Structure 1
Amino acid sequence: MGKIVISTNITLDGVVQDPDGEEGFERGGWFHQFVGGKDLEDWADRETEEALGAEALLLGRRSSEWFAYRMLSRDGADVRVSPEWADRINSIPKYVVSSTLEDPQWSNTTVLNGDAVKEVSELKAKVDGEILVYGSYQLVRTLIEQNLADELRLVVFPVVVGTGLRFFDETSDKKPVHLVNTRKIGDGLVFYAYEFVRDTASTTVG
């Protein structure tokens, strides 16, 4: 049984928009602006370890195109992580949820063009291990809303952006989570890992 793991970089106030500053968002570029070399080195080590431990990558169409363009057009050079990470991301089985993508250029890519909930449920039943989700925030919200996501991993950057696309959106109900890991990355980043709680009836309040 697969385990869907949402992994993302996020500001202290929950913004995920334009971390590199390439989208033209006036407050973008926060990924590099508020951290040092030690932070990014440790961040890259964590990202690489995570990718090597995964069995598949699940993406929305836009995020798939974003990654594919950078990996294919520059032969993996445009990565903030490591050649080892790039090799793994290029070779790992990739699944893209899209009703419009017909001919993916990225190797080892399968398009899930049916009902997203059904397709992802079937993918979880087929894959044995972690299924990483990068970016893909519209898809992420569906996964959380439909209780398909199993774990949430956040790397929090030390800045309050104040505006922009935020990671969490409205949900039909509360989504309780359980903290399973936290640690400092470098000198300024903090990593949090949460598992989504399925059986709220068994959860007690102290």
Structure 2
Amino acid sequence: MMKITLATYLSLDGVMQGPGTPREDTSNGFEHGGWQFPYADEELWTYGEKWFAEADGFLLGRKTYEIFAAYWPTVTDQDNLIAARLNALPKYVVSTTLDRAEWNNTTLIKSDVQAEIAKLRAGPGRELQIHGSGVLAQSLLDHALIDELRLWTYPVVLGSGKRLFEPGRVAAALHLVESKATSSGCVLNVYQPAGKPTYGDFTQDSRSPHLT
């Protein structure tokens, strides 16, 4: 069975829009593009290569696909593991607007998205990786189709922009399986789903500061 993983970059206030370049995603008047660049450090590349080496395919939303397809095929150095994996491995793009996908080894998923992804997940392999692709990631989180979240949270507050966990997400609990602070001040947290949230009542606990 294939494990579906999500890797994404977040500001401290949860924004995932346009981390890489000023022109990456300016929709809704976003003016903070390229906010991740000042915090790029050795751990970013080390973990990136480690995880890309585990991929047997990629699952992408339309916008992320277009950004990747415009850049990564131009990187032909076979010693660049990330480029080599992205250019060679199967890529599945979820889009109702694309008519064709010309990047090598790319398949469009245009309908029955959850069912088609569930089929891919049930197949053989190690990881089917999502990078960025916020709208797709939100939908799959709501349908419990993501097995691991790799969240890079950076010490910057942007105040506006698209967020991974927008209001309206389906409630879910997560289990922290790995946490690391990098040299730039980023905190990398890896989570796995832990079912539905559980609840309690501090007024039933004699130690509670709410009772003083």
When normalised by structure 2's length, the TM-score is: 0.84
Aligned to 1:6: 6
Which structure 2 residue ranges, 5 or more long, are not aligned?
Answer: 206-212
Instruction: Letter of the 1:62 partner, please give it.
Output: K
Runs of 4+ in 1 over 6 A off after TM superposition: 203-206
Instruction: Letter of the 2:68 partner, please give it.
Output: F
Mapped to 1, the partners of 2:178 and 2:58 lie a distance apart of 22
Aligned to 1:18: 18
Aligned to 1:42: 43
Aligned to 1:52: 53
Mapped to 2, the partners of 1:120 and 1:194 lie a distance apart of 20
* Structure 1 position 9, deviation (Å): 0.8
Change (3 A) 1:100 1:164: closer
Contact 1:95 1:109 in 2 (8 A): yes
More divergent stretch after superposition (97-106 vs 41-50)? 97-106
Mapped to 1, the partners of 2:56 and 2:168 lie a distance apart of 28
1:186 has 2:183 as partner: yes
Change (3 A) 1:27 1:204: closer
* Structure 1 position 160, deviation (Å): 0.9
**RMSD (CA atoms):** 2.2
* Structure 1 position 11, deviation (Å): 0.6
Which structure 1 residue ranges, 5 or more long, are not aligned?
Answer: none
Contact 2:9 2:16 in 1 (8 A): yes
Mapped to 2, the partners of 1:173 and 1:134 lie a distance apart of 21
Change (3 A) 1:99 1:135: same
Mapped to 1, the partners of 2:97 and 2:76 lie a distance apart of 25
Aligned to 1:62: 63
Relative CO higher for 1 or 2, CA cutoff 8 Å, sep ≥ 6? 1
Instruction: Letter of the 1:161 partner, please give it.
Output: L
- The alignment of Structure 1 onto Structure 2 pairs a total of residues equal to 195
Q: Which has the larger radius of gyration?
A: 2
Contact 1:178 1:196 in 2 (8 A): yes
* Structure 1 position 172, deviation (Å): 5.6
Alignment of 1:43-122 (within 5 A): 43-72=44-73, 74-75=74-75, 83-122=80-119
1:32 has 2:16 as partner: no
Contact 2:41 2:184 in 1 (8 A): no
Mapped to 2, the partners of 1:173 and 1:67 lie a distance apart of 29
Instruction: Letter of the 1:52 partner, please give it.
Output: A
Contact 1:179 1:195 in 2 (8 A): yes
